[in-house]
Structures are given as structure tokens and as C-alpha cells.
Amino acid sequence: MNAEIISVGTELLLGAVVNSDAAIVAKALSELGINLLHTSVVGDNPQRLREAVETAIARSDLLIMTGGLGPTADDLTKETTAAAAGKKLALHQPSLDRIQNYFNEKHVSENQAKQAWLPEGCTVLQNDNGTAPGCAFQAENGCTILMLPGPPSELAPMLHNYAVPYLQQSQEYTIVSHNVHIYGRGEAPVAQLMDDLMNGENPTLAPYANEGECYLRVTAKAHTQEEADRLCQPLIHEIRQRLGNFVYSVDIDSLEELVVRELAAQGKTLATAESCTGGLLSKRITDVSGSSAVFHMGVATYANSAKEALLGVPRSTLEQFGAVSQETAQAMAEGIVRVSGSSLGIGITGIAGPQGGTLEKPVGLIYIALSDGENTWVAKRSPIGRTKSRDWHRHCAASHALDMARRYLQGLPVIEA
């Protein structure tokens, strides 16, 4: 089955908005094992939209439209696509009821009501997070067409709750994917190490890079989910064998989520003391809902005076070794354990740039310490290769700190020999 996505909206052509809808749909199709061959964006222009839809219907088995289902005059997707597919629109009373309910009004405006007009005979995809319903139907030539709303907060749940199950009905096979998450080894060397495993057909194996980390996706298809899952397991085992401690999880998608779970399972707590990352690490930990059970306190001690006052980093350490040093990172980690009473403490200090680097301490030099009150480990990140952004250095330093905590909690060497 060959698929294609058309996203509708002039705002996408002005660069005001990134087309995250296409990526969300593309990922879902990939997980369903459906081949996506084209994605395109068209503005709110009926003629160009009609041309794009006609081309897509002629060449693809599945067309997914995103955006342009709303109440305003330039929301033209439904009218134009239905016409190109040879369908009329008909009022779908339950959708109108839902819209009236949403606004708590018996008579909504004509514009709002327009959203309840859908291609006749279509399957309606309910919108649990907004007013415009989606729909699925077949064009005269057999091409399956789905229309989904533009706002990602409406599209994503509709896709996962209604559109994916709809598409699964027509799929002979079930697809199961597992993501093996890796920290500490880049995509290129990982891919090289897995070279002989990447030609498999079922399961397949593919590497992906992701902001200073990477992951391997193992995908299998079978008639049942259990069978597909069973096909994946030997390959996952082999990956673990080859990568050892660099694998941090299967299917737990971030280091912060893993660390929060491990801390909670072990009844431990973590506190953070950040300099160059300025609160990013504590922000990422508290991104995880429920982190309050394991994270009580973090400090962003940007100035030396704050490192002294809040963490008790000795002035002599700061003067002798500098704020960006192994010794200061260590004193920060030990200080935050003392101040917070947490089981574990992290200290991060470095130069995130773009200013502030010197020949001796260049931009990207960052020290990261983990302490459990008895022992303290310090890692050093040095800038290598091409120049990276401030965001990049900060993100990677926070990830590195989380990986050290993960290793500690998993009973592994905190610093790989």
C-alpha cells in the first residue's frame, strides 16, 4: 500500500509553523508498515489544492489530508477533496450535536455548523479535543482518503484513537516495533556495528539519531501482535549483547523518564546543582509527570557566589581550579546531596558558549559529577569536531548527567572504563 500526505494551510508556506502534522502521520504509517512515498503542502487555494488531490488520488492507494477542516472561509479541504473524489457533502447530525455541545449552545453559527458536513457515506473520526471531526472514505477509483484536523493537539489523538484502528482493519498483518535506546555511542558507529543485521526482512532493523543519542528500531510483522513481538525478541537480545551497557532502555523513550522510574522503584531521590545548564536538567526531570516523588530540589547556581552560598563550594576550590573544573563539579554534586538530603546529587559546570571560551577551556568543555554522599564520579565532556550550538552543549550535558544516574541505578559502572 503506497501512501501520500497532503497538508493544507498557507501558514505552512509562510514558515510561521513547522509541519509537525506530517511527521506525526508519517511515524504512524511507518509503524503500520505502510509505505509513504510523498508528502506535500498546499496553501488555502482551491485550484492548487484540487490539482494536488487529483494527482494523489491517481497515484496513491492511501491519501491522508491534514488541516483545513475548521470553521473559517479559507478552510477548504473537505469541499475540495470531496469534489475531486466525486463525493457530495451531507450533514452528519451527531457531529453537529457535538459541536453545539462543545459551545454549550443550541444554535451555533453557520461557519461552526459547516464542520458537521462530511462526504456522504464516510466513516466519521470523532474529535475529542476540538470541533472539526475527521473522516475516512473511498474515492471512485478505490483510493482511501482520510482527513484529519490541523492542530496537532487534535490530530494526534484522533489519529491514534480512530484513524490507526480504521487503517488496521484493512491491513493483513499487524506491525510491532520496539525502540532500543542507546546513550554514549553515535548513530554511525552503532549502524556499523549492526551492519550485518540490517538486511533482515522480518524483523527489520533501522538506526535513528536523536539529539545526542540514537536508537535502533526493530520492526516485525505477523498475523498477531504476540507473534510479531516474538519475532523481535532475538534481535533485541543480539543488540543488547553487542552494545552492552550503552543500551539504556527498550521502549522507554527518554533518559529522564527512565531515571524517574528507576528512582521511584528503588525509593531513592535525586537533586541537581546546575551551572551552565541553568535549570535544563531539573526542567527535564520535572517534565516527567509524577517526578515530585523523587525530585525535591534543584538549584541553578550560575554565579560563583551562588555556588559558595547555596552549595558550600569552597572559595579556595573556585579560585584554585576555576568554576569550570572537575573539582568544582564534584563539590557541587556533594554540596547538593548535603543540602537536599537526597540519595543522589548531580553537579554540572561548563562553558555552553557561544561566548566565554578560552584556548584552555573551550566552548563545550563541561564537567558532570554524580555523588551518592559516599562516592563521587566526575565525567568530562570535551568539544570535538565541528562547532555546536549552546542548546546542543546544554542538552548533551544534561543527557550525560542523566545517563550517569541511570548507570548508577542500574548497578553499572558510572563511568565506562
Map the footprint of a copy of itself across residues 44-63, applying CB under 8 A: 45, 48, 52
Find all residues with CB under 8 Å of 15, minimum gap 6, and list them.
none
Q: Which of residues 352-381 bind a copy of itself (CB under 8 A)?
A: 353-356
Sheet holding 204-210, edge to edge: 204-210, 213-222, 174-182, 247-250
Which of residues 101, 129, 320, 410 is near a copy of itself by CB under 8 A? 129
Q: Which of 8, 32, 36, 116 binds a copy of itself (CB under 8 A)?
A: 36
Determine, following the binding rule CB under 8 A, whether residue 198 of this chain makes contact with a copy of itself: no
Q: Is the Cβ of residue 252 or residue 310 nearer to a copy of itself in the bound state?
A: 310
Beta bridge partners of 250: 180
Residue choice 8, 24, 65, 378 for contact with a copy of itself (CB under 8 A): 24
Residue type, 49: L
Of the ranges 221-229, 260-268, 272-280, 376-384, which one interacts with a copy of itself (CB under 8 A)?
A: 272-280
Helix (H, G, I), strand (E, B) or coil at 293: helix
Answer for the pair 276, 352: CB distance below 8 angstroms, yes or no: yes
Q: What angle do CA 248, 254, 257 make, to 5 degrees?
A: 95
How far is 268 from 281, CA to CA, in rounded Å?
Answer: 18
Least distance from a copy of itself to the Cβ atom of residue 159, Å: 11
Given 266, 305, 358, 410, the residue binding a copy of itself (CB under 8 A): 305
- What residues between 89 and 108 interact with a copy of itself by CB under 8 A? none
Give yes or no for residue 280 binding a copy of itself (CB under 8 A): yes
Closest to 281 measured CA to CA, from 191, 401, 390: 401
Of 111, 168, 358, 389, the residue at the interface with a copy of itself (CB under 8 A) is: 389
Q: Which of 204, 340, 349, 371 binds a copy of itself (CB under 8 A)?
A: 340
| Closest CB 19 distance from a copy of itself, rounded Å | 6
CA distances from 386 to 260, 364, 382, 383 (A): 33, 11, 12, 8
Q: Which stretch binds a copy of itself (CB under 8 A): 6-14, 79-87, 90-98, 222-230?
A: 6-14
Nearest CB to a copy of itself, comparing residues 52 and 331: 52
Residue 306, H or E segment: helix 304-311
x/- site string to a copy of itself, residues 145 to 184, per CB under 8 A?
--------x-------------------------------
- Taking alpha carbons only, the member of 350, 346, 363, 300 closest to residue 324 is 350
